[in-house]
Amino acid sequence: MRSYGQCCALAKALDAIGDRWTLLIVRELMIREACRYTDLKNGLPGIATNLLAERLNEMEQSGLVTREAAPPPVATTLFRLTARGRELEPAIAALGRWGAPLMGNPQTTGDEFRDHWVALPLRLYVRDRRPKDAPVRLAIRAGEESLTLETAGDGSVRVQPGTSERPAASIQGPPHTILALLTGKVSLASARAKGVRFEGETKTLERFGGPE
């Protein structure tokens, strides 16, 4: 994109990440840590393959992304965010908070949905209300996506792709109902009515909540 050519921090940020698709690529890499080209393409429905390639090159140039050749078992290139790229998290959180009211039901809007997208709001909005208690691990199966949520000890939670070993509890169901349950927007009873299956100590659930 053309630079705005303005000596302003916001304009400079937009010069770097204001291009179409760029912030969504950051979103994918923030969720998945290391991605193959094809993972990115699947996680970004609607992107043209030439644009994805072009953006990845630009983002590598500007120090947001690194490209590494994975050893034989994988034998492909992996894309990762750099530290500088991960520093976009507060901006993405703020934009996501602002954009949340604009989301409609994907059934009626026809919007694309990917189960793994729920990892981002989980990471950004779910708080550990008792950070000093013993750490807890939660197994989540949101749609077809398996995630592990664990308390980080500072009030935040870590969300990793994959299944967990010996979780304190497990939740399975539609992604956005799981999110609503863990941020305290719906009760366990009404989440169950919407298809959520919860196994384990109920009071594990009380440990989690939304912001503030």
Binding residues for a copy of itself, rule: CB under 8 A, are: 1, 4-16, 18, 20, 23-24, 27, 45-46, 87-88, 90-100, 102-104, 106, 109-113, 117, 120-121
- Burial of residue 150 (number of CB atoms within 10 Å: 0-12, 13-18, 19+): middle
Under the criterion CB under 7 A, does residue 8 sit at the interface with DNA?
no
Minimum CB–partner distance for residue 62 and DNA (Å): 14
Q: Compute the distance between CA of residue 171 and CA of residue 151 in angstroms, rounded to an integer.
A: 16
Decide: helix, strand or coil at residue 101: helix
Quote the tokens at residue 71: 């050893």
> Tokens 């969720």 belong to which residue?
31
Residues 17/88, Cβ–Cβ less than 8 Å: yes
Provide the minimum distance between the beta carbon of 46 and a copy of itself in the complex, in angstroms, as a whole number. Answer: 6
Q: For residue 16, give the 3-state DSSP assignment.
A: helix
Closest CB to DNA among 145 and 150? 145
How far is Cα of residue 94 from the mean position of the Cα atoms in its chain?
Answer: 14
Closer by beta carbon to a copy of itself, 151 or else 177: 177
Q: Report the SS3 class of residue 67.
A: strand
> Looking at 25, 30, 31, 56, which residue binds DNA (CB under 7 A)?
56
Closer residue to a copy of itself in complex, CB, 111/133: 111
Q: What is the per-residue binding string for DNA in 123-142, x denoting contact by CB under 7 A?
A: --------------------
Binding mask 72-91 for DNA (x = CB under 7 A): ----xx--------------
